[in-house]
């Protein structure tokens, strides 16, 4: 049976977040974390871990003389 997609689903705008996630999910060293719009608040320990990780990445990239906002392909040269 062929999949049926609602017309309203076909009108959903392109998601840059989804595009970046698809690129990341294709990389070997990336953990496959899924996302969406939950009605449950993000637990505090997850928020703290994310802040710590972002701080580490910024320090790491700055130590290499790179800007953290560069694309993954530019960061691994």
d(C-alpha 67, C-alpha 38), whole Å: 31
Q: Where are the domains of the chain?
A: 11-75
Question: What digits encode the pLDDT tens for the residues 7-27?
Answer: 998 888 888 888 888 888 888
Query: pTM of the predicted model, to two decimals?
Result: 0.35
Residues 6+ apart with CB under 8 A from 61: 67, 68, 70, 75
Q: How confident is the model at residue 69 (pLDDT cuts 50, 70, 90)?
A: low
């Amino acid at each position: 049976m062929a999949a049926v997609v609602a017309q309203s689903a076909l009108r959903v705008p392109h998601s840059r977040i989804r595009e970046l996630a698809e690129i990341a999910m294709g990389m070997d060293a990336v953990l496959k974390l899924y996302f969406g719009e939950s009605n449950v608040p993000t637990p505090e320990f997850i928020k703290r871990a994310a802040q710590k990780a972002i701080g580490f990445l910024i320090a790491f990239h700055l130590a290499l003389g790179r800007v953290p906002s560069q694309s993954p392909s530019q960061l691994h040269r």
